[in-house]
Structure 1
Amino acid sequence: MKTEEREFARKLRREDGLPINEIARRVGVSKSSVSPWVRDIELTAEQHATLRAMNPAYNRQLNGWLRVAERHRARRLAAQQSGRELARRGEPLHLAGCMLYWGEGAKGPPHQVCFSNSDPEMVRLFVVFLKTYFEIDAGDIRISSHLFADHLVRQREVERYWLNVADLPDESLRKSVVNLYSRSSKRKRINKLPNGTCQVVLSRVHVLQSIFGSIQEYAGFERPAWLE
C-alpha cells in the first residue's frame, strides 16, 4: 500500500506540481510522509510560479526546503567519502560485504540498507560486515523471512533459523512475508528453498551511503543517482 501511495504522491508532484499539503490531503497521508517521497522532484518554472501565486509564503518555504535538502545531501556525500576511504584500505571482509550489496542489495528509496538472499553463508557474512565496519548495535539490524505456503507448518522454526544464522537477538525479528499459492494452481508447487529467503534491513542512511561510496571506489565508476 505504501508503495502505491508513494507513486501516486510523486505523480501529483511531478505532473501537476501540487503543494505538499494538497498531495497529503489527496493521498490520505501526513505531510511528513509526502515530503521525503517527493523532495527529489524538480518542478518546472511554471509549476513554481503557480505555487507562488497560491501561497505568498512559498518562496520562504522553498528556501527552507532547499536548505534542509542541501544539508541532507552534504551528509550523504560525507558518508560516501567515508566509504571511499574505507575501500582504500583494501580489507577483504569489507570488499566482500560491499560486493554482496552491489549484487543483492536494494539501491533506491527508502534509503535504508536492505539485503535479501537464501544462502545462509551470504546472510551471515553480510551481517558480520555490518557489525564490523559500522557503529551499530546488533538490535539495530532487522530481519524478516520470506516464505512460501509449504513453509507455514514450520514458520517459527525457519524464523529461529535465520536469527541464529545472523547471530541476532530476538528483538531483531520482524513479521514474515508468506507467499501463498494461487487457487488457480492445478497442483501445489513445492518450493525448493528449504528456509525461504532472509531480508536484512538497517535503517541508517549514512551506512547505505558509505556502502555506495565504497562500491564506486572499488569498481572505479561514478553513480550520482545514488547520492540523491
Structure 2
Amino acid sequence: MPNTQRAPHDYEALRHHALTLRRAGLSRRHIRDRLSLPLTDAALTSLLEGEPPPDWTRRPNAKDDLRAKARELRKQGRTYNEIVAELGVAKSSVSLWVRDLPKPKRSREAMHRMSEARWAPYREARDRTIEETKAEAFNEIGKLSDRELFLIGVGLYWAEGSKSKPHCRRERVVFINSDPGMVKTYLAWLALLGVERERLRFAVMIHESADVAAAERYWADLAGTDLANMCKTTLKKHNPKTVRKNVGEGYRGCLVIKVLQSADLYRRIEGWWSGIVTGPSEPTATGASGMV
C-alpha cells in the first residue's frame, strides 16, 4: 500500500494521488483527509476532474435522468424557469445541475416572446377594463336630440372644417376628415340643417401609393352616393423618406365634403360657434351629472 499520508509536492503528482484514492472508492471528504492539505472544494474538484464518483456515494433517489435532461435543455438556450416548468422540479435543483454551463444568449425574437408571455395577462386585463369603460360611456350617451346633434355639428365643423381668415376671406363650407364616424355625424348634421344632397360634392384625398380605387368605393358607399358622381381624387405624392403609420388595408385617405352656395351657411356657423364660446361657461347641476 502506498503511503497516502504524505502529500505530493507538485500538481501532477497530487492529481495522480487524488485519482488513485478516488478509484479506490474513497469519497471527497476521505480524499481530503488522506491528502492532509487544506484544499478548497474547487481545488479538489479540479484534481478529480473527469473521474466519476464511486457508486456508493450516489444517492438512491438521485434524479440522474432529470439532471441530464436539464443540462440538455440549458444547452438549447432554455432559461431556469422554462426548465422548471418542463421538468417539474425545484429551481434550486436546476441551478445545481446546470450552473457550470454558460448562460444562453437570447435572440431578439426569443426575448420578444418572453416579454409577450410575461405581459399578456396584464394586457388582457387592461383591454377588458378599456372595453368595459367604453361600453359604460356608450350607454351614457343614449339617443341624441336634434339640439344636441346641432351643437355637436357646430363644434365638429369648427374643429375640422375650413375657416375664413381676415387675410383671406373664403366663406365656403368644406369639411375634410379620415374618420368614418366623424363623416357620418357631419352628414347627419347637414341633413338636420336642411342642406339638400344636390348641393354636396364629394372627393377623396389620398396618397398615391395606396389602393385608390378601393378607397373611392369605400367613401362613396359611406356617403351614400354613386361612384360616378365623385369628384376627381387628389393624390398626394409618396415621399420614401417619410415613415408613415397610416398604411395597409385600413388606410383610405380622407373624404372631402363641399357644400355648394354655402356662404350664408358658413356665416351662420361662425355665429353659432361664437354663441357657444361666449355663452354661459358654468354647467348646470343637471347638465354636469354623469359627464365626468
TM-score using structure 2 length: 0.40
Which one-letter code corresponds to 1:219 in the other structure? V
Query: Aligned ranges for residues 30-109 of structure 1 at < 5 Å?
Result: 91-108=147-164, 109=169
Q: Which has the larger radius of gyration?
A: 2
The residue aligned with 1:173 is 230
Q: Is the 8 A contact 2:162 2:175 kept in 1?
A: yes
Cα distance in structure 2, aligned partners of 1:158 and 1:90: 31
Is 1:155 the counterpart of 2:215? The answer is no
Cα distance in structure 2, aligned partners of 1:90 and 1:125: 12
Match of 1:116 among 155, 159, 176: 176
The residue aligned with 1:213 is 271
Which one-letter code corresponds to 1:93 in the other structure? L
Which one-letter code corresponds to 1:140 in the other structure? R
Aligned-residue offset at 1:217: 1.0
Cα distance in structure 1, aligned partners of 2:258 and 2:252: 18
What is the number of equivalent residue pairs in this alignment?
128
> Match of 1:143, SS?
strand
The residue aligned with 2:251 is 194
> Match of 2:174, SS?
strand
The residue aligned with 1:74 is none
Sort the Cα spacing of 1:207 and 1:186 in 2 relative to 1 into closer, same or farther, 3 A.
closer
> Match of 1:217, SS?
helix
Cα distance in structure 1, aligned partners of 2:191 and 2:212: 27
The residue aligned with 1:146 is 205
TM-score using structure 1 length: 0.50
Cα distance in structure 2, aligned partners of 1:149 and 1:186: 15
The residue aligned with 1:137 is 196
Q: Is the 8 A contact 2:163 2:170 kept in 1?
A: no
The residue aligned with 1:85 is none
> Match of 1:91, SS?
helix
Deviations 1:133-154 (A, max 9, x none): 13x3212111111101222xx3
Sort the Cα spacing of 1:213 and 1:196 in 2 relative to 1 into closer, same or farther, 3 A.
same
Which one-letter code corresponds to 2:263 in the other structure? V
Q: Is the 8 A contact 2:146 2:192 kept in 1?
A: no
Which one-letter code corresponds to 1:131 in the other structure? A
Q: Is the 8 A contact 2:201 2:259 kept in 1?
A: yes
Cα distance in structure 1, aligned partners of 2:237 and 2:151: 37
Q: Is the 8 A contact 2:176 2:257 kept in 1?
A: yes
**More displaced stretch, 163-172 vs 118-127:** 163-172
Aligned-residue offset at 1:117: 0.9
Aligned-residue offset at 1:132: 1.5
Q: Is the 8 A contact 2:216 2:227 kept in 1?
A: no
Sort the Cα spacing of 1:218 and 1:156 in 2 relative to 1 into closer, same or farther, 3 A.
same
Using the aligned pairs only, state the percent identity. 24
Instruction: Extract unaligned runs of 5+ from structure 2.
Output: 1-144, 280-292
Structure number with higher helix proportion: 1
Aligned-residue offset at 1:214: 0.9
Deviations 1:79-98 (A, max 9, x none): xxxxxxxxxx9801101110
> Match of 1:195, SS?
coil
Deviations 1:13-41 (A, max 9, x none): xxxxxxxxxxxxxxxxxxxxxxxxxxxxx
Q: Is the 8 A contact 2:204 2:233 kept in 1?
A: yes
> Match of 2:202, SS?
strand
Sort the Cα spacing of 1:168 and 1:217 in 2 relative to 1 into closer, same or farther, 3 A.
farther
Cα distance in structure 2, aligned partners of 1:187 and 1:94: 39
